[in-house]
Structure 1
Amino acid sequence: MTLAERALAQLASWPDLFEAEPSCGIGRAVRAAHGEIAHFHSEDHVDLYLTARAIKRFEDHLTDATAVLLVPGSQWVTLRLDVATDVDLLMTLASLALQAHQAWPEPGEMPQAHCNDHRSPIRPKGSLSGG
């Protein structure tokens, strides 16, 4: 079982989440009552809809995490699943995403149909790939 398969199964087992087709049409998604939370596009990349407010609030932590990729103007973050601890980070961020969707709804912050798939991410600090 790949890390993405393990993470998808784990998230789909949460009481507030269920597996679904992603709005972007690529891979699998996990949804909550308020909308899509995660898109699993490949065996090693997941887009997570954190909301702009949550990204802003945790931006320093997100940019310090080497598994996290940010896209300017996007309410989604992309995670690379290279090791088991990346799945742990995804679970933590998914919990934040659920909280953001339930506790911080803002009228102008409607779910975006477009996740980060096919967008250019900002590489995290300390990334050796160079972009």
Structure 2
Amino acid sequence: MTMALRAMAQLASWPDLSETPPSCGTGRALSTVQNEIVHFHTDQFVDLHLTARAIRRFEDHLRGATAVRLVPGSPWVTIRLEVETDMDLLLTLVSLALQAHQAWPVSRDTPSAKCNDQQDMALPRNNSSGS
């Protein structure tokens, strides 16, 4: 069983998440009643709807994590699952995303933000916070 499948199974057991079709049409997704939270696109790449506010708040830490890729202006982060600690990071960030969506709910009138799967601007895995 791949890490992505293990993470999907574990997260699907969380009471606030349920499996839904991803809005991007690729892979599998987990959502709350109000928002898509996680898209499992491949066995290695997962997009997480962390929210723009949470990304700004934790940007330095996210940029320091080699498993995380950011797309400028996107409220989603991409996580590459290669080792156990990447899965641990994903689970922690999903928890953070759930808290962020509860603390700062997105209006139902706001169009849903597209995940990073359809964006070409993802930074390489070995990103650094230097310019």
Matched, 1:43 2:46: no
Q: Is the 8 A contact 1:23 1:113 kept in 2?
A: no
Instruction: Describe the superposition over 1:9-39 as per-residue Cα deviations: whole angstroms up to 9, x where unpaired.
Output: 0110000001111000000000012210000
**1:79 counterpart residue number:** 79
User: Which residue matches 1:96?
Assistant: 96
Which amino acid letter does the alignment assign opposite residue 47 of structure 2? D
> For residue 44 of structure 2, what is the amino acid of its counterpart?
D
Aligned length: 126
Residues 69-89 of structure 1: per-residue CA shift (max 9 Å, x gap): 000110000000000110000
**How much identity, in percent, do the aligned residues show?**
63
Task: Give the aligned partner of residue 122 of structure 2.
Answer: 121
Change (3 A) 1:113 1:106: closer
d(CA) in 1 for partners of 2:44, 2:111: 24
Contact kept in structure 1, 2:52 and 2:75, CA below 8 Å: yes
**What is the RMSD computed on CA atoms of the aligned residues?**
1.8
> Normalized against structure 1, the TM-score is what?
0.90
Post-superposition offset of 1:107? 4.7
Any gaps of 5 or more consecutive residues in structure 1? 127-131
Does the 8 Å CA contact 1:75/1:112 hold for their aligned counterparts? no
Matched position secondary structure for 1:117:
helix
Unaligned runs of 5+ in 2: none
1:55 partner amino acid:
I
For 1:2-17, what aligned pairs fall within 5 Å after superposition? 2-17=2-17
Q: What's the CA shift string for 1:72-114, capped at 9, x where partnerless? A: 1100000000001100000000000000000122559946341
Paired AA for residue 82 in structure 1: E
